[in-house]
Amino acid sequence: MTASVVVAGADWQRHGRCRDADPSLFFGPEHEAGHERALRETEAKSVCQQCPVLPRCRKHALAHSEQYGIWGGLTESERKRHRRPLWRSP
């Protein structure tokens, strides 16, 4: 069972599971190949899924338009989709 962590301000970052992981797992090289990138992102997301501050991290990433890396279990392209306005046809 995972303990819930409630923190205020930016203090939530101290409780992230990513703090104990290699940063290159969340921020890959600039010209990373598609298959390698997919494997790395899947592994990073598995760390995020077990993280007690995942919702807070995701909220931060979307609110601050984080452009690079895995944040809150979302890739760069997934965060872009969340930021796009949803247009509805009449």
Q: How far is CA 87 from CA 5, 51, 76, 79, 84, in A?
A: 36, 33, 21, 17, 9
9 belongs to an annotated ligand binding site: no
31 belongs to an annotated ligand binding site: no
18 belongs to an annotated ligand binding site: yes
Long-range CB pairs of 60-68 (<8 Å, 24+ gap) are: 60/12, 68/27
The pair phi, psi for residue 74, each rounded to 5°, is -120, 140
3 belongs to an annotated ligand binding site: no
Residues at the binding site are 18, 48, 51, 57
Residues at the binding site for [4Fe-4S] cluster are 18, 48, 51, 57
